């Protein structure tokens, strides 16, 4: 297993914003953007692991600015950190006004993917090596996010153990 540079995991997707993908505000549906984010992030994870992957978690998707129909939606993703079998993927979303060229950060997200084998069992992945300032920042700050995720998973598990599974009308 060979360590890879973060840039080797980069995936880029650019798309127009078409009316069927917009809401009553004429901006891109949040759910549509989340689907783009999961899609591109999984490509970065697979580029790194060269194995099937599953999404283990999405920390949050922060919608910082709306994306309008006169703009294009540009997504960039890369693996910023790896554990044993898990990979943290950062996704940056920009809205670009195609007439003026103005670019706005519209959303950011961190997702965690786990490399799995054909039986769905987790398998090890190599490390990633940061080079640019931004990559180094994302790589160095990952440890805190990983700890926060562990705490959140524990809390989710406790909630899952507490909530009932009855049908709503029972
Ligand atoms: C018509 C033809 C179409 C063809 C089309 C082909 C398309 C081809 C490409 C498709 C690309 C699709 C990519 C989409 C992928 C999904 O959409 S997958 C669907 C949604 N996700 C799932 O269903 C996952 C369900 N969960 C699971 O399977 C298990 O919980 C997991 C994630 C495998 C973890 O299992 P586990 O027993 O906890 O495993 P364990 O070995 O203890 O932990 C493994 C690692 O996961 C980490 N982890 C576990 N839970 C979490 C968590 N909540 N948060 C963060 N890390 C976690 C652990 O910390 C550990 O990390 P490492 O220390 O190894 O680094």
Nearest-CA neighbor of 127 among 76, 79, 58, 78?
79
Q: With 0-12 CB in 10 A as exposed, 13-18 as middle and 19+ as buried, what is 20? A: exposed
The pLDDT of 97-105, averaged and rounded, is 95
**pTM greater than 0.90 (yes/no):** yes
Judge whether residue 62 has pLDDT over 90.
no
Q: Which residue, by CA, sits nearest to atom 25 of ligand 1? A: 56
Bridge partners of 96?
72, 103
As a whole number of angstroms, the distance between CA 37 and CA 2 comes to 27
Q: Name 117's Cβ contacts closer than 8 Å, sequence gap at least 6.
A: 51, 52, 123
Residues with CB under 6 A from ligand 1: 42, 53-57, 83-86, 112, 114, 116, 120, 122, 149, 153
Question: Residue 37 pLDDT > 90, yes or no?
Answer: yes
* Domain 4-162 = CATH 3.40.470.10: no
Average pLDDT, stretch 130-137? 98
- Residue 3 CA to residue 10 CA, distance in Å, equals 15
Question: DSSP letters along 123-159, please?
Answer: -----EE--SHHHHHHHHTHHHHHHHHHHHHHHHHHH
What is the ipTM score, two decimals? 0.90
Inform me whether the pLDDT recorded for 112 exceeds 90: yes
- How far apart CA 46 and CA 8 sit, in angstroms, is 11
% pLDDT > 90, the chain: 93
**What is the residue-averaged pLDDT of the chain?**
96
What atom in ligand 1 is closest to the CA of residue 156? 53
Looking at residue 126, its pLDDT comes to 97
Ligand 1 geometric centre to CA of 99 (Å): 40
Q: What is the pLDDT of residue 60?
A: 83
Residue pair 61/107 in contact by the 8 Å Cβ criterion: yes
């Amino acid at each position: 297993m060979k360590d890879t540079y973060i840039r080797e995991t980069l995936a880029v997707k650019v798309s127009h914003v078409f009316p069927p993908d917009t809401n009553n505000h004429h901006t891109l549906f949040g759910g549509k953007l989340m689907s783009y984010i999961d899609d591109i992030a999984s490509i970065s994870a697979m580029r790194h692991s060269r194995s099937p992957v599953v999404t283990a978690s999405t920390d949050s998707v922060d919608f910082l600015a709306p994306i309008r129909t006169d703009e294009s939606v540009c997504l960039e993703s890369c693996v910023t950190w790896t554990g044993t079998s898990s990979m943290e993927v950062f996704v940056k979303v920009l809205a670009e006004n195609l007439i003026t060229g103005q670019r706005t950060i519209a959303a950011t997200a961190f997702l965690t993917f786990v490399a799995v084998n054909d039986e769905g069992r987790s398998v090890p992945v190599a490390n990633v090596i940061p080079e640019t300032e931004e990559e180094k920042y994302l790589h160095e700050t990952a440890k805190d996010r990983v700890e926060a995720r562990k705490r959140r998973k524990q809390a989710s598990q406790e909630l899952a153990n507490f909530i009932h599974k009855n049908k709503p009308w029972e």
